Amino acid sequence: MHYNHLGNSGLQVSALGLGTNAFGKRADEAASISIVHAALDEGINFIDTANIYAGTESERIIGLALEGRRSEAVLATKAGLPRHPGPGGSGSSRHHLMLELEGSLRRLKTDYVDLYQIHTFDPNTPLEETLRTLDDMVSSGKVRYIGASNYAAWELMKALGISEARSFVKYSSIQCSYSLADRTPENELLPLCLDQGLGIIPYFPLAGGILTGKYTAGGEAPAGSRAMTDPNFTRFLTPERLELGRSVSAIAEDIGTSPTALSLAWLMRQPAVSTVIVGATQTGQLQQNLQSTLLPLDAGTLERLEQASLPFRHGKPFAVYRLA
């Protein structure tokens, strides 16, 4: 396994990370624990979750899986998207973040998280309040590094400027949708991260499965796929994205690999990308994903992927999560 620094921090993270959104939903407790153990055995140390995944079940299951193996993991979680309706149920106020961090620590069965991330920008809380709270968390030892998620470039730069001016700990990373089907971060966010020394953690690296080639125009969603378990996902299955999926599959076939491995390998080679988080519902999927870490890509293959995905550099992001 290859390891990268998270931005310009000293924290080393595996090039392939484990996303756990499916834990407690499409993967039950036993399967999820097996996946975590298999990931650690293969050298994957970055495990990403959030306080809202499967209604907190993802964090609880990870806590069980890491018993006796906590030191092997770089554990990342998030807060900020709605946990419950009503006052204090979402956002990045001091009140909400302090409460949610304690809840995450209990579920994860640990006294610290390696990376604590703000799940989305909160327009209703002053950034100074959020950043001071995160600085206090790091000073307390309950958090080691901090990151953002779903921030626009200007929001992220504003946060970095405030942290610089107030001598607060700075964000080390940003999570965003980034893949061959969504290259919009290359327009503003990626240059900012290169300039300011932040690591990018892409989510939806396979565009929800579109880049695996399993979706076909007019065909039924495969059993167990995201489109089958979440009918709302079908809105992403546009003709243009399905055509991209076919193009990636054709390129993968020409070089003797899978479209999954090809898509992940491309993303790992992009500037500022520190770790690529990919979910799994069984250990077999994890093994397939690991092929990406060993896949060489020559100039011709990279050029074909560039041309096939170029239309997805402009337009709307594949996904972004914001507070209403």
| DSSP three-state, residue 78 | strand
Residue linked to tokens 């990342």: 76
Query: Which residue in 53, 116, 145, 171 is the catalytic one?
Result: 53
| DSSP three-state, residue 252 | helix
HSE-up of residue 141 (Cα within 13 Å, Cβ side): 2
Q: Which residues does 175 contact at the CB level (< 8 Å), separation at least 6?
A: 78, 117, 147, 148, 149, 150, 200, 201, 202, 203
Rounded distance between C-alpha atoms, residue 199 and residue 194, angstroms: 8
Residue linked to tokens 């995201």: 226
H helical segments located in 256-298 = 259-268, 283-290
Is 151 one of the catalytic residues?
A: no
Give the E-state strand segments of 156-221 in sequence order: 171-177, 199-203
Nearest-5° Cα angle at 148, 144 to 154? 135
Helix (H), strand (E) counts: the chain: 11, 10
Under 8 Å between Cβ of 139 and 161: no
Active site residues: 53
